Each structure stands twice: as C-alpha cells, then as structure tokens.
Amino acid sequence: MTHKILVLPGDGIGPEVMAQAVRVLDTFKAEGEALEWSFGLLGGCAVDAEGDPYPASTRAAARAADAVLLAAVGGPKYDNLPRDKRPERGLLAIRKDLNLFANLRPALAFEELADSSSLKREVVAGLDLLILRELTGGIYFGQPRGRRQDDNGDEQGFDSMYYSVPEVERIARVAFDAARKRGKRLTSVDKENVLETSRVWRETVARIGRDYPDVELSHLYVDNAAMQLVRNPRQFDVIVTGNMFGDILSDEASMITGSIGMLPSASLDEHGKGMYEPVHGSAPDIAGQDKANPLATILSVGMMFRYSFARGDLADRIEAAVKRVLANGLRTGDIARKGEAVTGTRAMGDAVVAALATNKR
C-alpha cells in the first residue's frame, strides 16, 4: 500500500526546514518504501495565492491524504489582515476539518543538549516524555460563553467546561495505546478535587484502563503535575490531559528540553490519520538565511511513520540519525553554545541524510 502525504511548507522558515524533511522522504523512497507526496498551500502563502488561508484545493488534498506534514505558518506581513484571513485561521481550520482531536507532544532532552535547559543537566539529561492533549473539546470550545451581568449588576466574563464520556474515552485510548508502545506508564492529569468535569474524566480514564492491564495508570492533580515536571520530569512516561491543562503543561515541558527548534508534534484523528508539525512557528527573524534548525520538522516525519504508518522502525532510524548528527557536534544557531561552530539548515539536512544511509537495516 502506498502512503499518500500532503506536504505544506507554509511561511517564513517553513519552506527551508520542509525541504530538508522532504529529503528524508526521498531517502526512504529511494530505498523502496511506497511513499507518494504532493505539495499544497496553507497559511500566508495560501492567502497570497488564493485569498484564503485554507483554500479548497488544500482541503481536498488534505482529506485525500493519509497524513499531512506541515512546517509553520504566519508572519508580520499578515498580522493586519481581518481575522478570517489570518494564517493561523488556516491552521485551526485544517485541524477542525480533519477532526484531529489528539495532540501528541514528545519532550525529548537529547543528552548532547542537556546544558541548553533552564534546569540542571542531571534533572533533564535523557528526559523522554510524551504529553497527550485533548485538542477539540474542553473549556476552549464550551458553550455558552461570553459576557453578562452578574447578580450585583457587574459585568462578568464566563466560559463553559465540558467533557463527555465518549470524548474522554477516545483520548484515553490513544494515550493507553501510546503508552503501550513506550514505557507502559500513563499519568492522567485533572483537577478532580474541584471540577465535576475532572470527575468524569478520571472515572472514564480508569475504566478504559481496565482494557490495558499491561499499562500502569496513575492520576495527578494539575497543580502537582506542573510542580513535578520541573522537580523531576524523568518520572513520567506518557501524560494525558484535557485541552487547557495540556496547553500549559506541554509548553512547560518544551521549555525543559531547551530548544524549540528540536520539538516535533502530531495531531491525530480517530483512525490514526494525522498532521505532523514542529512546535515552533515561522521564525520570520531568520527566514531565508539558512539559519533555521530543520530537526523538529525531520523528527515530525519520524512521528508520522510511527503513528500514522505503523513504521516504528523508520521512526527509530530518523531519531537515531538526529542523535548521531548531534553527537558529531553539528549545531544550528539555536542550539549552539557560545564559541561553537554553527551549521546551516541545508548542511544539517545533509548530515541527517548521510546518517540515515549508515543506519539502514
């Protein structure tokens, strides 16, 4: 079966980092893997070409593909457009259109980069955790919301937080499945001592857990989880949580690893179809200068093979190649320490492709 991929380079450094990720696809295709890909427009480049950040042509291609690879969208050129024409609208629209409800963000602290973290080397070196955030429900989407007068006649803002049992069941299953592929430990994060939503969350996760006796399940309150992440992040394997808690904890975990240019992510639907993208944005300050770190986008390709194509072997090869180039001392500007030689985007891609050639099975 041929895997069909839609490639969306986007804006800013997007096309530069995506070009290096596509070289990884080229490498595997040349080895005989059945891969096919086409390019599409999303974000600012789509506004320029078609007047719409998520044009119909991209929508059709995204629906037809088995997986979508995205670099980044946005830039100062688009900051003054009306809200519905902003590049980030394109991002929200494609996530919604493809029903991508599960967001996976690994936080991996490469041994070689442990000094870039804001925490001590001995606390982070070797960190390898995965945060799973529910992406389409919870307080960010709950209705009603708005402004009204309270009983004293004062203006108040209000939001609604809901999680239905099926919504929790499906994210819990993705989390248990992911834990099964890793260290077999899952921590569910909620605020069960205060929130009714969290009671439903906790009961449902525990019930689904009975189908996964091989995965060790624990529960943490979100305030404790935030504390434990900076105290001893290596105690975690997989964390699953709702939309708002996940938003906050995943950014906290990213910072612990030390470099935004190294972090991939995945957003999955119910059938394992997904969109894969680096956590960083379009970095307009360094766009077009061969300075961007392509490794987060390359690692996103790895996640695509692992989660959408069940090819953990190819994902392992990509991760090993990235470790190898770091061990060999290659550093783009964002991960170089003072005095270290700086490698460009393209040369970093060369090094990864060369490392892949040496770790063939």
- Residue 308 or 332 having the CB closest to ligand NAD: 332
What φ, ψ does residue 33 adopt, rounded to 5°? -70, 140
Residue closer to ligand NAD, measured from CB, 96 or 173: 96
Phi, psi angles (nearest 5°) of residue 183: -90, 5
> Of 131-139, 159-167, 288-296, 320-328, which part binds ligand NAD (CB under 6 A)?
288-296
Q: Phi-psi region for residue 172, left (φ > 0), alpha (ψ -120 to 50) or beta?
A: alpha
Active-site residue, from 247, 290, 316, 350: 247
- Contact criterion met (CB below 8 Å) for 109 and 127: yes
Q: Is 251 in the site for ligand NAD (CB under 6 A)?
A: no
Whole-number Å distance between alpha carbons of 307 and 260 = 22
- Environment class of 81 (CB within 10 Å of its CB; exposed 0-12, middle 13-18, buried 19+): middle
Report the distance separating Cα 77 and Cα 319, nearest Å: 35
Asked about 223 being catalytic, the answer comes back as: yes
| Residue 334 in the binding site for ligand NAD (CB under 6 A) | yes
Least distance to ligand NAD, CB of residue 296, Å: 6
**Closest separation between CB of residue 10 and ligand NAD, Å?**
6
Are 112 and 121 a contacting pair, CB within 8 Å? no
111 lines the binding site for ligand NAD (CB under 6 A): no
Among 48, 285, 313, 340, binds ligand NAD (CB under 6 A): 285
Asked if residue 247 binds ligand NAD (CB under 6 A), the reply is no
Tokens read off for 346: 């393209």
Distance of closest approach, residue 122 Cβ to ligand NAD, in angstroms: 26
254 binding ligand NAD? (CB under 6 A)? no
212 is catalytic: no
Shorter beta-carbon distance to ligand NAD: residue 205 or 292: 292
Give the number of other Cβ atoms within 10 Å of residue 224's Cβ.
12
Catalytic, 191? Answer yes
What is the distance between the alpha carbons of residues 349 and 238, in angstroms, rounded to a whole number?
30
Instruction: Based on the shown chain and the rule CB under 6 A, indicate whether residue 281 belongs to the binding site for ligand NAD.
Output: yes
| Interacting residues with ligand NAD (CB under 6 A) | 13, 17, 72-75, 88, 91, 260-261, 277, 280-286, 292-293, 296, 332, 334
Active site residues: 140, 191, 223, 247, 251
